[in-house]
């Protein structure tokens, strides 16, 4: 008996838990939906007009603007064609239909749950096409007269043409005419002006023009503008850079057709601009002293200006990009850039084969230049040189090479100054000065220059813009063809003479033999 007690206790507890789960209430998140109010909809308020080809739903009282609709058309074969739309008017694909069913929907908001109502199926009930009334059966005042085909508007019992804001009754002409609510709401109009801006230190230009934003009549616009005042934030002292309100006020009488909202604009005062400051490139010849360049300006006009430089001063030869920063309170910083060039009196190429160096310059050179000695071809120079070069039977003088000195700055060729300097040229292929003459060519004239030669280098006084012409002598080659020809002719002559002599001796021997034969015969 004792062993059965414990299992029995567990069984009782389990049954109790199951009962508590089934019968005890629980709290879920779906309970929050009960906090919203059910949306009230009067189905008898809606009127569906259907002519077999198009349909519309109208509301006798003021409708909810957030309605959405789904028109479901059915033809004689029982086929249905849904037509969802946010408008109260629907025209499906071309065809004939027997009935239409309208579903009215409204999305949930902070107050109401989702709403959906299916109106009763409607058969063709009119021979008049439904009117294309604006969504919600309301529009906003714009100063224009509004009219729709098959609609008559009433204000009370009087027929009217709806222009002004207010509520109207609109009678829909059809087989069974009925009236609905039609509303023209007040227009929301904004009276403001354009935002303005100018720079500190300058005189403001332009005026604060009044702007009317909203669709109203021209007469309304004029009336509103006449009652708008615009106040700019100027006073005796100039405004410092910053943003300020342009005050816009409307003082007109309330209107039945529109509500005017005055909106301030913004005046922005930008920082001033520093003008009249110059920072120009300068170049000097290296002298071992410190050099700098300075910003120039009218100190009386621009008092309180502070200037700092990226490079204060330099003494070594080189090309220096210097930035000057000009500062003044209430003004934008002004950045200026200029180049300080400290020239060197000598410069040389990096090519060890065709090497050139220039020294003793009075104008100086940009140390960053890339100097080179370039071999060139020039038929005019060669023809001109032929007039002054000398040749004889043993030696011939001719142009060995023509060189041009070029300088590149940033990859582009730049001109060197035309001045007399010391030019040192070590030309590839000309290792000796024996028989070498050096000429310079400029403006069509070839002029011989004196030079000194040391360890393969020709030193000449000349200009970097000249062309340098090197001429040298070489032994005249002997034409052996004539000698060989003469030897051959002499040999042939000798052979011919020998043949003649041999022939003569041969003939003399034969004559002697004949004479001996004759003598023996006579004997």
**pLDDT per residue as tens digits for the range 456-473:** 999 999 999 999 999 998
Place of tokens 């062993």: 3
404 pLDDT higher than 50: yes
DSSP annotation of 224:
H
362 pLDDT higher than 50: yes
Residues 104 and 119: beta-carbon distance below 8 Å = yes
Set out the domains of the chain in order of their start, with CATH numbers.
Answer: 43-161+168-180 (2.60.40), 188-270 (3.10.430), 282-343 (no CATH), 347-475 (no CATH)
Question: What tokens does 58 get?
Answer: 């109208």
Q: Name the burial class of residue 188, with classes exposed (0-12), middle (13-18) and buried (19+) by CB atoms within 10 angstroms of its CB.
A: middle
Lowest mean per-residue pLDDT among 10-14, 81-85, 234-238, 508-512: 10-14
Question: What backbone torsions phi and psi does residue 32 show, to the nearest 5 degrees?
Answer: -65, -25
Lowest mean per-residue pLDDT among 38-47, 221-230, 329-338: 38-47
Mean pLDDT of 233-242: 81
28 pLDDT higher than 70: no
Mean pLDDT of 114-119: 94
Q: Cα–Cα distance between 73 and 93 in angstroms, integer?
A: 10
**pLDDT per residue as tens digits for the range 308-332:** 999 999 999 999 999 999 999 999 9
Mean pLDDT of 168-197: 95
Q: Give the DSSP letter string of 295-355.
A: -B--TTTSTT-EEEES---B-SSEEEEEEEEEE-TTB--EEEEEEEEEEBS-EE-S-SSSE
**pLDDT per residue as tens digits for the range 246-278:** 999 999 999 999 999 999 999 999 999 999 999
Q: What does the mean pLDDT of the chain come to?
A: 87
DSSP annotation of 30:
G
Paired sense of beta strands 178-185 and 138-140, if any: parallel
pTM, rounded to two decimals: 0.62
Strand segments, DSSP code E, in 61-135 are 68-74, 80-85, 89-90, 99-106, 115-118, 122-123
Question: What backbone torsions phi and psi does residue 515 show, to the nearest 5 degrees?
Answer: -70, -40
First to last CA, the chain: 198
Q: Cα–Cα distance between 318 and 157 in angstroms, integer?
A: 99
Buried/exposed 376-386: b ≥16 CB within 10 Å, e otherwise = eeeeebeebbe
Place of tokens 């301030």: 264
**pLDDT per residue as tens digits for the range 409-458:** 988 999 999 999 999 999 998 989 998 999 999 999 999 999 999 999 99
> What pLDDT sits at residue 514?
57
> What pLDDT sits at residue 20?
42
Paired sense of beta strands 258-262 and 187-193, if any: parallel
519 pLDDT higher than 70: no
> What pLDDT sits at residue 503?
74
Question: What tokens does 321 get?
Answer: 């990009």
Residues 75 and 87: beta-carbon distance below 8 Å = no
502 pLDDT higher than 70: yes
């Amino acid at each position: 008996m004792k062993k059965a007690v414990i299992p029995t206790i567990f069984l009782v507890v389990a049954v109790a838990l199951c009962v508590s789960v089934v019968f005890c209430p629980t709290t879920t998140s779906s309970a929050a939906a009960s906090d919203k109010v059910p949306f009230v909809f009067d189905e008898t308020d809606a009127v569906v007009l259907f002519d077999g080809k198009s349909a519309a739903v109208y509301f006798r009282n003021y409708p909810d603007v957030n309605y959405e609709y789904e028109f479901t058309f059915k033809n004689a074969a029982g086929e249905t064609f849904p037509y969802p739309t946010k408008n109260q008017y629907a025209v499906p694909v071309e065809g004939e239909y027997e009935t239409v069913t309208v579903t009215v929907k409204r999305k949930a908001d902070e107050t109401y749950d989702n709403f959906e109502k299916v109106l009763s199926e409607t058969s063709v009930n009119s021979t008049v096409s439904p009117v294309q009334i604006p969504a919600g059966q309301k529009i906003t005042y714009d100063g224009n007269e509004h009219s729709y085909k098959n609609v008559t508007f009433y204000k009370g019992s009087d027929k009217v043409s709806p222009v002004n804001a207010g509520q109207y009754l609109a009678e829909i002409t059809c087989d069974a005419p009925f009236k609905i609510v039609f509303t023209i709401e007040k227009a929301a109009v904004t009276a403001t002006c354009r935002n303005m801006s100018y720079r500190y230190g300058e005189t403001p230009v332009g005026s604060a023009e009044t702007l009317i934003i909203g669709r109203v009549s021209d007469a309304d616009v004029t009336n509103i503008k006449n009652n708008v005042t615009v106040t700019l934030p100027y006073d005796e002292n100039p405004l410092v850079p910053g943003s300020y309100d342009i005050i816009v006020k409307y003082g007109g009488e309330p209107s039945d057709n529109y509500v005017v909202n005055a909106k301030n604009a913004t005046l922005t005062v930008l920082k001033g601009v520093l003008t009249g400051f110059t920072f120009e490139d300068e170049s000097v010849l290296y002298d071992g002293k410190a050099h700098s360049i300075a910003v120039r300006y009218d100190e009386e006009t621009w008092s309180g200006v502070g200037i700092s430089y990226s490079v204060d001063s330099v003494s070594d030869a080189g090309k220096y990009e210097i930035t000057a920063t000009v500062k003044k309170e209430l003004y934008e910083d002004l950045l200026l850039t200029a180049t300080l060039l400290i020239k060197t009196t000598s410069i040389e190429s990096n090519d060890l084969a065709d090497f050139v160096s220039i020294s003793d310059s009075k104008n100086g050179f940009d140390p960053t230049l890339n100097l080179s000695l370039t071999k060139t071809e020039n038929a005019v120079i060669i023809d001109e040189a032929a007039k002054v070069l000398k040749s004889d039977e043993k030696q011939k003088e001719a142009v060995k090479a023509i060189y041009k000195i070029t300088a590149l700055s940033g990859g582009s060729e730049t001109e060197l100054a035309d001045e007399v300097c010391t030019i040192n040229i070590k030309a590839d292929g000309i290792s000796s000065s024996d028989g070498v003459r050096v000429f310079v060519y400029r403006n069509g004239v070839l002029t011989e220059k004196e030079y000194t030669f040391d360890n393969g280098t020709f030193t000449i006084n000349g200009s970097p813009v000249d062309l340098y012409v090197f001429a040298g002598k070489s032994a005249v080659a002997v034409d052996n063809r004539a000698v060989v020809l003469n030897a051959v002719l002499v040999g042939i002559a000798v052979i011919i003479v020998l043949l003649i002599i041999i022939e003569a001796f041969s003939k003399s021997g034969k004559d002697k033999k004949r004479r001996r034969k004759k003598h023996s015969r006579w004997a």
